[in-house]
A and B are shown apart, each in its own frame.
Chain A
């Protein structure tokens, strides 16, 4: 009898959770629709200059035509490829560098002032030098995407290594573990959550690096489309590129979130 009542209460609770979820979703959808609706309306009624700010319908038409002739696919593909590669290289090198710093206290002391300077420096300012050094092409752009996240990854991951509870190491040392074994079985896995959180930051950063790289030198890519559209005053093109960047950056972020859930099921 009372069991039934409990069940009823539970059902009610589930219902209210569902209700809350629905309300949040409706608001989210509403904001999206309003934004594009207002944009379209403002553009049609000339509240904003349609030449400068384009309109959703023009952007969609442009996207459809550019995707059907295949040109947009190439641009998107190039930028995505560069960003992913920059992201992976930047993150891996950062983690590797952090691990090296951890392995030698003296090395980390020596490297400290250089890391501070490199971290404080706006990496995109290095763009022209990178292009001169690596040539005007993919390599430079990927390098931009990577370099922007290396130093910050190094610093964050290294700090994470040092904050791992030293008692885990104590347990391992009591079994006679070497420093490398301590790293492999405690310090590195305990630091995974920190690494994942840098992944999330780096997703955004590599997009910055790659788009700036494409601004500076490129013949294809979404960053190139933005600069090109700006120069020929085709703002539908600029907007279309922006929307694609927003969509793919969000997808990449979500993928990283999935990886996070999968990797750190049991770290706490």
Chain B
């Protein structure tokens, strides 16, 4: 059963002198608990899709349904993780984590305890009273993850959340996010331009092409890879063959545009 559905979504960006079609007739659906990656060159509208799904931006035409309700009527929380952590430097780690609940006005002791527990779960102990400046990049992104999870979102939107990290931290965080999302049975959409990351983490990969952003092909990740940890997927014998297929598709798109 489809949980999140995009139907013929089209989006334009307008400037004073011109307009660009960022998305052209995008339709896909995501099942509950599924992990889908959007893969494509920069400028293909991947991030635009996330902004529309999160309700921050309104598409020019088409429908976005979450649990059969239009996205702006839906009460279900959506979590958004950006490329950088965007922790508020003047707030303590705990206050940063509790940002969502503070906005929604439902901070209580129980939630604070949950925040501490989640921080421990991602391997951050005794940092709740520190400020973001004293944490490393990987730690900060983990805090951002906790900040996203604390509101118990039904859908997680991950906008290249690992791309600003060094390689080692990135691999570790991929595993952590994968484990957490599976443990809490979350639905997620990951935007990335890293083929390996897309294969390692997701159940399905939607390859996009640019000008205007549209879906060029969808790949199902082999079942054997889906339940492995991202780190182990990269070593799996089946990894290379799907990598090659995705690579070919991306290259084909690029050849057309160049």
Do A and B share a complex? yes
* Chain A residues within CB distance 8 Å of chain B: 165, 167-168, 170-177, 181, 185-186, 189-190, 192, 264, 266-268
Option from B84, B104, B131 in Cβ contact (under 8 Å) with A176: B104
- List 18 A-B pairs, Cβ < 8 Å: A167-B84, A167-B86, A168-B86, A168-B88, A170-B86, A171-B80, A171-B86, A173-B55, A173-B56, A174-B54, A175-B103, A175-B151, A185-B103, A189-B90, A192-B90, A264-B90, A266-B90, A268-B133
Give the interface size class of chain B: 20 to 34
Taking CB atoms, residues of chain A closer than 8 Å to B91 are 266
Q: Report the Cα distance A186→B87, complex, angstroms.
A: 10
In the complex, B89 has a CB within 8 A of chain A: yes
> Does chain A have a CB within 8 A of B99?
yes
B89:A268 contact, CB within 8 angstroms: yes
B103→A172 contact, CB < 8 A: yes
B100 within 8 A of A: yes
Q: How far is the CA of A167 from the CA of B51 in the complex (A)?
A: 11
With a cutoff of 8 Å between Cβ atoms, the chain A residues found around residue B54 in the complex are 173-174
Bound-state Cα–Cα, A266 to B129, Å: 13
Q: Quick check: B82 and A167 within 8 Å, CB to CB?
A: yes
Shortest distance between the CB of A172 and any CB in chain B (Å):
6
In the complex, B78 has a CB within 8 A of chain A: yes
- In the assembled complex, B79 has its CB within 8 A of some CB on chain A: yes
Task: Judge whether B103 and A267 touch: CB under 8 Å.
Answer: no
Known: A175-B103, A175-B104. 4 other contacts (CB 8 A): A167-B86, A171-B99, A173-B55, A175-B151
Question: Which residue numbers of B lie inside 8 Å of A, CB to CB?
Answer: 51, 54-56, 78-80, 82, 84, 86, 88-91, 99-100, 102-104, 131, 133, 151, 157
Choice from A165, A170, A190, A192 contacting B56 with Cβ under 8 Å? A170
User: In the complex, what's the smallest C-beta–C-beta distance from A1 to chain B, in angstroms?
Assistant: 32
Select A189's contact among B80, B88, B100, B133, beta carbons within 8 Å.
B88
A72 to chain B, nearest CB (A): 43
Residues of chain A with a CB closer than 8 A to B103's CB: 172, 175-177, 181, 185
A-B pairs with the 3 shortest C-beta distances? Answer: A174-B80, A175-B100, A175-B103
Contact A170 B82 (CB under 8 A): yes
Q: How distant is the Cα of A189 from the Cα of B84 in the complex, in angstroms?
A: 19
Bound Cα distance A185, B80 (Å): 18
Q: Which of A170, A186, A189 has the most CB of B within 10 A?
A: A170
B104 A266 Cβ-Cβ under 8 A: no
Interface centre among A185, A192, A266, A268 (most CB of B within 10 A): A266
Which residues of chain B are within 8 angstroms of A174 by Cβ–Cβ distance?
Answer: 54, 56, 78-80, 157
